[in-house]
């Protein structure tokens, strides 16, 4: 899919630090807030022993383990392949001081494999490494206290459902978002799980178009049902 996020990602410059203008949800568990310092975005290119390029697999542990583990490993901590350890260490030490670097990265990197290293407090020793994971093609934030669609990824399920940038998300699967990004993420995860368990074709989302008092409901498609897919060959 082609990301349409870069030009709308609400970045701002604060001296040599890059942060966000307002809260932005970058995955189901992470809300970036103004004042948090964005350090670098990347896609891991070195492969793990199993042939994957997944940073989580490369780290083999929790965040504290990952940032304190020496490249060669020590004690009972697993070591990283040297090329993976070298690449990770480079990203940990890199700090982009210009917002345009993040914009260019989002325009060029695959969104389904992109990571962001940031600092919640702005301190060098306080780092987080999060994988970007958008919601069926939605970039969601809170520019004015509501759960608002900032951008829609091209050829995504969200685009196919007719969701537009500027729409406010009122509820997901019948669960109100209550103008809270975290509640939206919780409702989204629960609704998707229920839809998967029941093997339904889609799940509902209620929206309010920008500048309108009326709401509308859209149906976001789910992957093909396993049972149906198996039967398609007979």
Q: Are 163 and 148 in contact (CB under 8 A)?
A: no
CA distance 192 to 200: 10
Mapped onto helix, strand or coil, the DSSP state of residue 178 is: coil
Instruction: Supply the pLDDT for residue 44.
Output: 77
pLDDT of residue 50: 60
Structure token digits, residue 148: 């608002």
**Domains assigned to the chain:** 6-131 (no CATH), 138-231 (2.30.42.10)
pLDDT 10s digits, 114-155? 889 999 988 777 888 888 888 999 999 999 999 999 988 888
Q: 214 and 226 in contact (C-beta within 8 Å)? A: no
User: In the chain, which residues have pLDDT < 50?
Assistant: 1-3, 71-74, 228-231, 233-234
- pLDDT, one tens digit per residue, over 92-114 is 778 899 999 998 888 888 877 88
Predicted confidence at residue 230, as pLDDT, reads 43
CA atoms of 39 and 156, how far apart (whole Å): 28
Residues 6+ apart with CB under 8 A from 13: 98, 99
């Amino acid at each position: 899919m082609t990301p349409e996020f870069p030009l709308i990602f609400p970045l701002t410059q604060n001296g040599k630090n890059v942060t966000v203008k307002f809260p932005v949800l970058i995955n189901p568990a992470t809300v970036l807030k103004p004042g948090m310092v964005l350090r670098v975005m990347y896609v891991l290119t070195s492969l793990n022993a199993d042939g994957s390029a997944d940073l989580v697999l490369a780290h083999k542990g929790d965040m504290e383990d990952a940032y304190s583990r020496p490249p060669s490993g020590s004690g009972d901590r697993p070591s990283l392949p040297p090329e993976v350890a070298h690449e990770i260490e480079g990203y940990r030490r890199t700090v982009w001081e210009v917002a345009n670097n993040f914009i260019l990265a989002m325009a060029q990197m695959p969104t389904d494999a992109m990571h962001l290293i940031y600092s919640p407090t702005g301190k060098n020793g306080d780092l987080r490494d999060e994988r970007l994971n958008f919601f069926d093609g939605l970039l969601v934030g809170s520019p004015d206290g509501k759960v608002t669609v900032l951008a829609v990824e091209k050829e995504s399920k969200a685009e196919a459902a007719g969701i537009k940038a500027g729409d406010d998300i009122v509820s997901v699967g019948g669960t109100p978002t209550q103008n809270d990004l975290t509640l939206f993420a919780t409702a989204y995860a629960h609704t998707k799980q229920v839809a998967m368990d029941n093997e339904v074709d889609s799940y509902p989302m209620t929206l309010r178009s920008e500048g309108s008092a009326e709401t509308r409901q859209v149906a976001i498609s789910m992957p093909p049902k396993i049972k149906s897919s198996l039967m398609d060959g007979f």
